[in-house]
Amino acid sequence: MITLQFSTTKGIGSRVIRWATWSPFSHVDLVLGDGRLLGATARYGVTVRDPEPVSALARFQVAAPAEVLDALNSQIGRPYDWPGIFGWGFRRNWQEQDSWFCSELIAWAFREAGCPLLRFDRSYRITPRDLLLSPMLIPIS
């Protein structure tokens, strides 16, 4: 089982993302076995990092193969998708591997592993809210 952590902070960026996407959360990461997080952030790009304080979080388990982690590891060091911020309203290929938003990275890794979280054939962007709608997520209480 893989654990995903959805979170939010009190920062302005988090507030804007939640407002723009109608989501209770602004960020998503994969939780590693040692408790560190693997994902894409504006500050670090795609990296493994220690958890930071958040104002809200929810964790979900997903039955998925180990290839999800392999796909994520292959993207460590890639930058955050800053150009995508400016092109938010435009259609772009969210699966290009040159830079990532957190939710797009997670969605891409599951798809690469043959275990897509959602139907992505008509999506031009993926947000934390989109991933929250996946029927594959099992809440951790």
Tens digits of residue pLDDT in 15-59:
988 998 889 999 999 999 999 999 999 899 999 999 999 999 999
89 pLDDT band, cuts 50/70/90, is low
Burial 39-74 (b: 16+ CB within 10 A, else e): bbbeeebbbbeeeeebeeebbbebebeeebbebbee
Q: Picking from 50-54, 73-77, 79-83, 86-90, which range would have the lowest pLDDT averaged per residue?
A: 86-90
CATH number of 2-139: 3.90.1720.10
Q: Please determine, for residue 82, whether its predicted confidence score (pLDDT) is greater than 70.
A: yes
